[in-house]
Amino acid sequence: MVEKLTEIERSDALAKLDGWRVAPDRDAIEKSFQFDNFNAAWGFMSRIALQADKLDHHPEWFNVFGTVEITLTTHDCGGVSERDVQLATFIDGLGVSM
C-alpha cells in the first residue's frame, strides 16, 4: 500500500525539488514548463511518459503548444506520496530550466 506523505515529509521533499509547488486546490504538487515549440514540449513529455510507465505512476498533465503543466498526486492514497517525489526528481533530472 502506498502511503501519503505527511505535511512535514512533503515540505522536506519540495525543498529538494526544483520549482515544484503545492497545488492550491488539492493534495498534489505541480510545475509548469515552457518550450520554444510544440515539438520540444512533446519530446519532453515522451521522455516522462517512458519513465512513468516504468514506475507505473502517471502524471496528470496539460500541453498547449510550448507549455506543459504537470500535476503529480497518488490516487491510491489520496495525496502526495514518495511515487510523486520520485517522478518529480526524474523530471527535474531532464535538465529543463524554468
Give domain status of residue 2, yes or no: no
Span 35-82, pLDDT tens digits: 999 999 999 999 999 999 999 999 999 999 999 999 999 999 999 999
Give domain status of residue 15, yes or no: yes
Residue 88, burial from CB neighbour count under 10 angstroms (0-12, 13-18, 19+): buried
Predicted confidence band of residue 98 (pLDDT cuts 50, 70, 90): low
What pLDDT is attached to residue 97?
59
Give domain status of residue 13, yes or no: yes
Give domain status of residue 39, yes or no: yes
The CATH number of the domain holding residue 42 is 3.30.1360.20
Range of the domain at 64: 7-93
d(CA 36, CA 80): 30
Predicted confidence band of residue 96 (pLDDT cuts 50, 70, 90): confident
Give domain status of residue 45, yes or no: yes
Please say whether the beta carbons of 82 and 90 come within 8 A.
Answer: no
Total domains in the chain come to: 1
Maximum CA extent, the chain: 40
Give domain status of residue 27, yes or no: yes
